[in-house]
Amino acid sequence: MIKKRLAFLANGWYNKGICEIIKGMRRYTEKKGIDIFLFLTYSQFRESREYNDGEFNIHRLPDYHDFDGVIFIPDSFSSVHEAQRICKEMKENDIPLVSIGCKMEGIGFISCNNYKSMSILCEHLAAEHDIKRVAFIAGHKENGESNDRLAGCRDTFAKYGVEIRKKDIYYCNWEYATVVKAAKKIASDKSGLPDMVVCANDVAAMAVCSTFQDMGIKVPEDVKVTGYDNIPLARAFSPSITTMEQPYEEMGYMSVEALYELAGKTGDGLRTGISKLIIGESCGCERDEQAVRIRSDLARENFVTAENNILFERSSIDIENAMFKTKSYEELPQILQEYFENSHEYERDGFAIVMEKAYAKNIYSPDADLKTTGYAETMSVPVMIKKGHVGGISEFKTRELVPGYKKTSKTHIYIFSSLHSRNNIFGYVVMKDAIDHIEDRSLYTYMSRMGESFEKYRKIMRLDQVNEKLYELSVRDSLTGLFNRYGYETTVVGAFKKDNELGKKDVLIFIDINRLKYINDTFGHLQGDMAIRTVGSVISECIPKDWFVVRYGGDEFLIFGSLQGETDIDYLCERISSTVEKRGEELRLPYRLSASSGYLITEPGPGKTMEEYVEIADRRMYENKKRTYLDNLTI
């Protein structure tokens, strides 16, 4: 059965290629009403393994049986292992799989013949320019596309008697900083500059040109430079880069065509294209008139992008500020929904944040670990935007992928990105028809900041939990769990001042355990501790729930509370006293447990301080104690 949706796995750093490939895909899918589910990563060779694992986890989100098949760009992953894992999983589950750019045994393959394409470029260089020595800036050593381009360059120049020496090949892992380092090494080579630096992609070519210029080396006058891919920035660069334009759009169309060919078992799923030579200024050819126009367009685009980035920065900060308004995770969905209700120009319709429930559990308990591989069967959706309405879902089946998804006759592209910090998985984000966010690479910044915000939020909430526990420890008596003297000073005194300002009367009751020294001396301190805990427990049971109890001293307790209506304080004191004695009998204590009390009711206004009231209550308690208990009281 045709499911009319396909999975596409790619790395967002391959932005131009992805956008062009999707254009080609849509030429096929729009005829058939097929949706494209793009599982996007931003893995990099220079990033830690934990970070890349967090990115790659998005590949583990879908159940691929729910798709007609999978298309992926394995060379973009920055991980041979991840590409091989995906290939193995699809084969074992008999799921049609097509690779773009990297040939892997037993699956469909869409290629641009990088060897032949690079040969076309190098034929031009060898035939039109006097080249004696060539340096090559390669990608990663294990990258098939880079190796094919190197082989095409080597073999073509060999026909013209030019050998590319091993020392003149620089593997730079597709990274700008590594290319700059290689360019400086080329420039400082004691044997002199090469005539030509051939780069495996345009970004490397621009990095080489910029580094040479900083060192006083002119391109193309002193050394010629070429790239590969024909990205817009390379055409606008000065000098414009001589390069090869890959037929990405055609490859996108062929990849879907090949996928459904494999699904229907009507072919081998193999297709090949050839890149087109684009002559620029960097190889020493004539002025590039098209580059002049592109530079003008780029200047305008840069202005718009700069203004949009300011709004984007503000939006990211606003999201984070909204999150930090919450006092508990339970409040977060409402806070986020309120924010996105007022501002979702970037996210648009079809946006959702899908969260692991383990994220919330981890906030409240360090024993609840975050997931590092895969996703739970059910998750929550704190935010989803559908038809302009912002809402959420408390229980969401992860296999559905897109909250509120309904298949229509129109083709849509759903982009899934991992929400994580390092390899700690928080959830994922889905966006609908937002390819422009991939093209301008803003989605990388957006997801990075979203991950950082959720990580900060998690740490702050956990820190608040720890601080709350530390505060509780600091204000509570370790033996009884009641407020200690510090708790009295920070909590009870403040409550008294507030009631006094509001004109409310309060009651203070001072309670003392009778003859605790005798109990300790005769029966031991464990029995003395039992007496203290028992009296503290009885007091807590007898008083109103909103009153405070303080272990004020070794055998002394202070009760404080707002006087409500006609509360009978004499009855309350008698109840505490009788319950203490009864509890001692129930526990079969080897002594008679009893307590004395004294109380007063405050008068609101600029009168006595809390300390003065406590002294009066204490004095009344001792007066009652003398009247009630004789010195020869039997214990």
User: What pLDDT shows up at residue 634?
Assistant: 44
Query: Based on the domain organization, do 52 and 190 belong to the same domain?
Result: no
User: What pLDDT shows up at residue 600?
Assistant: 92
Query: Based on the domain organization, do 152 and 216 belong to the same domain?
Result: yes
Residue with tokens 């006293």: 577
278 has which bridge partners?
243
Query: Based on the domain organization, do 276 and 305 belong to the same domain?
Result: no
User: What pLDDT shows up at residue 592?
Assistant: 93
pLDDT band at residue 466, thresholds of 50, 70 and 90? Answer: confident
Q: CA-based angle 616:617:620, to the nearest 5? A: 85
What pLDDT, in 10s, does the model give residues 370-420? 999 999 999 999 999 998 899 999 999 999 999 999 888 889 999 999 999
- Specify whether the CB–CB gap between 325 and 461 falls below 8 A: no
pLDDT band at residue 429, thresholds of 50, 70 and 90? Answer: very high
Note down the domain range covering 417: 5-95+294-463
- Tell me the percentage of the chain whose pLDDT exceeds 70: 94
pLDDT band at residue 259, thresholds of 50, 70 and 90? Answer: very high
User: What pLDDT shows up at residue 405?
Assistant: 93
What's the token pair of residue 190? 């004691």
Residue with tokens 């609840």: 368
Whether 574 is in a domain gets the answer: yes
Q: Which of 287, 317, 350 is the last residue of a domain?
A: 287
**624-633 average pLDDT score:** 62
Q: Could you tell me the sign of the dihedral formed by the alpha carbons of 138, 141, 143, 147, in that order? A: positive
Whether 633 is in a domain gets the answer: no
Q: Which of 463, 494, 524 is the last residue of a domain?
A: 463
Q: CA-based angle 434:438:441, to the nearest 5? A: 135
Closest of 139, 161, 2, 125 to residue 68, by C-alpha:
2
User: What pLDDT shows up at residue 383?
Assistant: 97
Closest of 423, 399, 421, 415 to residue 56, by C-alpha:
423
User: What pLDDT shows up at residue 20?
Assistant: 94
**Peptide linkage before 604 cis (omega within 30 of 0):** no
Query: Based on the domain organization, do 429 and 321 belong to the same domain?
Result: yes
Query: Based on the domain organization, do 197 and 277 belong to the same domain?
Result: yes
Least confident piece of the model among 166-170, 278-282, 312-316, 519-523: 312-316
* Radius of gyration in angstroms for the set of CA atoms belonging to the chain, rounded to a whole number: 37
pLDDT of 286 strictly over 90: no
Distance CA 271, CA 261 (A): 11
**600-604 average pLDDT score:** 90
**SS3 at position 262:** helix
**415-440 average pLDDT score:** 95
Whether 130 is in a domain gets the answer: yes
User: What pLDDT shows up at residue 635?
Assistant: 43
> Residue 491 gets which letter from DSSP?
I
User: What pLDDT shows up at residue 101?
Assistant: 87
Distance CA 65, CA 94 (A): 9
Query: Based on the domain organization, do 361 and 419 belong to the same domain?
Result: yes
For residue 496, what are the contacts with CB-CB under 8 A and spacing of at least 6?
506, 560, 602, 610, 613
**610-629 average pLDDT score:** 85
β-pairing, 506-513 with 424-432? unpaired
pLDDT band at residue 91, thresholds of 50, 70 and 90? Answer: very high
Query: Based on the domain organization, do 267 and 396 belong to the same domain?
Result: no
What pLDDT, in 10s, does the model give residues 325-380? 888 899 999 999 999 998 898 899 999 999 999 999 999 887 789 999 999 999 99
pLDDT of 566 strictly over 90: no
Query: Based on the domain organization, do 302 and 446 belong to the same domain?
Result: yes
- Residue 427 is inside which H or E element, if any? strand 424-432
Whether 535 is in a domain gets the answer: yes
- Specify whether the CB–CB gap between 78 and 106 falls below 8 A: no
pLDDT of 307 strictly over 70: no
For residue 201, what are the contacts with CB-CB under 8 A and spacing of at least 6?
139, 174, 227, 228, 229
pLDDT of 444 strictly over 90: yes
What pLDDT, in 10s, does the model give residues 171-195? 999 899 999 999 999 999 999 999 9
- Which CATH number covers residue 119? 3.40.50.2300
What's the token pair of residue 140? 């990663």
Mean pLDDT across the chain? 91
Whether 246 is in a domain gets the answer: yes
Distance CA 363, CA 368 (A): 8
Distance CA 600, CA 614 (A): 9
Looking at the structure of the chain, the number of domains it has is 3
pLDDT of 110 strictly over 90: yes
pLDDT of 564 strictly over 80: no
- Residue 205 is inside which H or E element, if any? helix 202-214
Query: Based on the domain organization, do 227 and 251 belong to the same domain?
Result: yes
Query: Based on the domain organization, do 325 and 200 belong to the same domain?
Result: no
**90-111 average pLDDT score:** 93
Closest of 293, 314, 197 to residue 236, by C-alpha:
293
**280-300 average pLDDT score:** 75
Q: Which of 463, 494, 528 is the last residue of a domain?
A: 463
More reliable by pLDDT, 46 or 390: 390
What pLDDT, in 10s, does the model give residues 9-32? 999 998 989 999 999 999 999 999
Whether 200 is in a domain gets the answer: yes
- Specify whether the CB–CB gap between 522 and 591 falls below 8 A: yes
pLDDT band at residue 628, thresholds of 50, 70 and 90? Answer: low
- Residue 457 is inside which H or E element, if any? helix 442-475
Whether 613 is in a domain gets the answer: yes
Distance CA 348, CA 431 (A): 8
Query: Based on the domain organization, do 326 and 283 belong to the same domain?
Result: no
Whether 128 is in a domain gets the answer: yes
Query: Based on the domain organization, do 319 and 443 belong to the same domain?
Result: yes
User: What pLDDT shows up at residue 472?
Assistant: 79
User: What pLDDT shows up at residue 305?
Assistant: 67
User: What pLDDT shows up at residue 198?
Assistant: 97
